[in-house]
Structure 1
Amino acid sequence: MAAVLPDQPARPENARQRPFSRKPVRWLLLALIIAIAAFFGFRYWADSRAYASTENAYVNTDRAEIAALVSGPVLKIHAAENQVVKAGQPLFDIDPRSYEVALEKARAQLQLATQSVSQQNAAIAAAEAQVAQREAELRNAQANFQRTERLKKQGFLSEQGGEAAATQVATATATLHAAQANLEQARSALGQTGSDNANVQVAQAAIEQAELDLKRTHVAAPADGVVTNMNLRPGEIVQPGVPLFVVVNNDHYWVDANFKETETQQIRPGEQASVEVDMYPGKTFHGVVESLSSGSGTAFSLLPPQNATGNWVKVTQRVPVRVRITDPDPRYPLRVGTTASVKVSLRSGESATSGR
């Protein structure tokens, strides 16, 4: 009697084909990965030839350090920290009273100088009259001397009478010379007349300086911007030339991008650039290359590196490139010193060069 075998479970039809069906999928995935890698590799290679990029970049703008031009106590402050100001808007005032007094004193000095000129003019007029009188006396003495000489020849006058007439001529001549010397001295003391007089000009210059100092007690914003680092307090004594705070320009920004020295040979002024500021992810600003520095960043540092020792190691230097932002957006206000990424289009420079 034949043995009856137990029922075997049904085997799937594709059981034998499963090991073979995975190979095409693997090859397809591998080919896809290679294609993607090749695509991005080619794109990176093409971008490296068409663009120069760096993440070593910082936002910058014009900054005006505000300092007093005259000394004195601060009377009133018109601006606050981070306040937006316009050109000519008042920032602070210095107590003007001492400068008002100085102006009045300078005006009084001008009056004194004018009076002195008038007195000297009167002295000159008196000296001129004295000279005219002495000239008349000399003419009379000379005429008398001539008469005595004729009378002496005719025997009507003695020798003593002739000598007396000669003495009168000599005396009148000496007196005239003294009067002329006094006139020259008076004219020299006066110098130029009217507004051309030196003393009057000195007094007038003192008035102008006093007016300028008084005007400088009122300090205004030199340009549009934002007040920053404001630590000024009413009553504080300020000195000329000492920075008190800063007004940062808020409508003209650029980026100082530090490119490797091996990348700057293809960067030219006028090339287009894109700027991404780290504080605004996803926002791209447009810009244009304005200039390239004439040296590396370390060359102009306070203490440039000295590479004369034997343990010198060559390090690729960075050259600052200024990229002006052409489309600032009020919705994305930029901040000085914030970091950015810059990409410069080298092709735009080639087209601009060929167009010229």
Structure 2
Amino acid sequence: MKHLKPIILVVAVVAVGGGLWLWWQHESIHPSTDDAYLKANVLTIAPQVGGRIEKVAVSENQHVEAGDLLFRIETDDLEASVEAAQAGYETALQQTGAAITDLSSVSAKVDSARAALTDAQSNYDRTAKLFKKGDVAQAALDQATTTRDQAKAALDNAQAALTAARERAGTPGDNNPAVRAAKAQLTLARINLARAKVTAPVSGWIANLDLRPGTVVAPDKPLFSLVEDETWWIDANFKETDLARLRPGQPVKIGIDMYPGLSLDGTVESLGAGSGAVFSLLPPQNASGNWVKVTQRFPVRIGLDSLPDDPAMQLRIGASTSATVDTSGLDSAK
């Protein structure tokens, strides 16, 4: 019996050592971390126009579909803006029409001035010939010259007025710059009126809602959040000693602390470009003071390939999770 004790002790030591070696092998091939959290896209809901809240159509933690009404702003002043912009647009059309009419009138004056210059030039030519023959006096030639010069000046003035009228009139119809500007104001007023009705951009859950009818809101001021329910991922922080075997595309087993026994499938999507400490508000300054080496952790994004089948197991952002990556594919590929 005394001879068996050393043998049993050796066997026990070998068994424990073998178990530790197998555990170490498993851990090196299947790196895992509990420093992992569930994430999703969180949209900030803010109105694009200001005003008094007329109706709040949702409640805290309510699930909404894309396009569902979230809240509505009173539209009295927005409707008035649309009417004012409509009037401005119609006025611009009328002014353009009047300018086009004035352009026709000025153009007719140019034609009349040109005809008068033609007559004055013909009269001057006849008078000049008669003056050379001595049939008319110098006074008649001077009068014909003055009449011709006045007709030429009148034509120049009419042509200048026509140019100015064309600049004022611009392009007729909706292509006129003034009309386009008025039409743009009308379009913007209609857009702002439509923005008084705020709908869900995506499907998800309402969060941080503290909004009541009668509240006055400002444009672009955040009011509450919408947690999107379509895309989920895990932000897992692995030790830097685990990164040597991690690659995008590797399968991952995910556990969620709030649902014991639930196991979801995931895939490594990307590895962080820097440790979490580097991007913190006050990154460590290792070059100063007493330095102590600390194993760093790097964020690894893991996409969820499956979601819980039970609707009661609703996923919630920030939930603690565990992630175990299967890196055995690296060894089989060698």
Which of 158, 164, 172 pairs up with 1:193?
A: 172
Residue by residue, what CA displacement relative to the aligned partner does 1:43-71 show, whole Å, maximum 9, x if unpaired? 21221231111111111111111111111
Retained in 1: the 8 A contact 2:97–2:172?
A: no
Q: Secondary structure at the match of 1:258?
A: strand
Retained in 2: the 8 A contact 1:272–1:348?
A: no
Retained in 2: the 8 A contact 1:270–1:349?
A: no
Equivalent runs, 1:62-77 vs 2, <5 Å: 62-77=41-56
Which of 296, 302, 321 pairs up with 1:340?
A: 321
Aligned to 2:262: 283
- Tell me which amino acid in the other structure corresponds to 1:197: N
Who wins on radius of gyration, i.e. which is larger? 1
Residue by residue, what CA displacement relative to the aligned partner does 1:326-354 show, whole Å, maximum 9, x if unpaired? 11104222211111111111123566x77
Question: Does residue 1:119 correspond to 2:98, yes or no?
Answer: yes
Aligned to 1:301: 280
TM-score, scaled relative to structure 1: 0.88
Query: 1:162 deviation in Å?
Result: 0.6
TM-score, scaled relative to structure 2: 0.94
Query: 1:191 deviation in Å?
Result: 2.1
Q: Secondary structure at the match of 1:262?
A: helix
Q: Which moved more, 1:121-130 or 1:149-158?
A: 149-158
Which of 260, 269, 282 pairs up with 2:248?
A: 269
Aligned to 1:132: 111
Q: How many Å separate the matches in 2 of 1:74 and 1:177?
A: 63
Which segments of 5 or more consecutive residues in structure 2 lack a partner in the other structure? none
Q: Secondary structure at the match of 1:275?
A: strand
Q: Secondary structure at the match of 1:68?
A: coil
Q: How many Å separate the matches in 2 of 1:74 and 1:165?
A: 80
Q: Which moved more, 1:299-308 or 1:203-212?
A: 299-308
Residue by residue, what CA displacement relative to the aligned partner does 1:163-220 show, whole Å, maximum 9, x if unpaired? 1000100010111101111110111112222211110000111111111111111111
The structure-2 alpha-carbon separation of the partners of 1:82 and 1:36, relative to structure 1 and needing over 3 Å to count, comes to farther
Aligned to 1:156: 135
Alpha carbon RMSD of aligned pairs, Å?
1.9
The structure-2 alpha-carbon separation of the partners of 1:306 and 1:191, relative to structure 1 and needing over 3 Å to count, comes to farther
Q: How many Å separate the matches in 2 of 1:27 and 1:315?
A: 41
Question: Does residue 1:105 correspond to 2:84, yes or no?
Answer: yes
Query: How many residues end up aligned between the 2 structures?
Result: 332
Using the aligned pairs only, state the percent identity: 37
Q: How many Å separate the matches in 1 of 2:93 and 2:113?
A: 30
Retained in 2: the 8 A contact 1:251–1:328?
A: no
Which segments of 5 or more consecutive residues in structure 1 lack a partner in the other structure? 1-19
Q: How many Å separate the matches in 2 of 1:23 and 1:234?
A: 88
